[in-house]
Structure 1
């Protein structure tokens, strides 16, 4: 079984704990890197030379929000093929359209109930665990 490398960009500590809890409940090997905003995530992607298999990110974050991060990510030749999944509370149609225009791999609304959240994350992570991913 391969190890899925995930970068989670999320400024809310509770959301980070929830995400980790879901991963721990799954029968997968994973490596999770955490970032509190887009600026920090770009530094991680450039400095550590560890390209994640998939990125999950929130839209509403300090310093650099999710869409600003995505625009930079998708213009970078070495990083643009990394699938980026939005994980947010925003169901604003403009946000959704902008993210898909930039080139996201999916848009997940954070449900209020933990069980619903857990189910959505499990499905998304299972999908990327079984997908053929590009490594540059």
Structure 2
């Protein structure tokens, strides 16, 4: 059975992969350079946090379980549906703000669901949640 520590770290891996994958997919849909620049900046931060979670999982002898293929496909289909007719900066920024807000809520939920997680895992989860809350605010500036 997984410990709270491992469960929280797995949540971080999945959350950051969702962010990275979404940004990758949306980046090709815009010509707005400031929006693209912000996407790249945030993608780097997601990658950094993702790598930290992978390292922590390896340190406890666990293997990271990223997003399932079904989850990736579901997100991809949702993006295609919502951008089929509207690839405007406003629409993309709205989608990113919603996703960042959901990610921040998922971090809060993980903090409550896994109270026995290590201080390091809790710190990383808070860091991710804070980053996503700030990202939500940043995306709203593009709307």
TM-score (norm 1): 0.34
More helix as a share of residues: 2
More strand as a share of residues: 1
Q: Which has the larger radius of gyration?
A: 2
TM-score (norm 2): 0.32
- Greater RCO between the two (CA within 8 Å, min separation 6)? 2
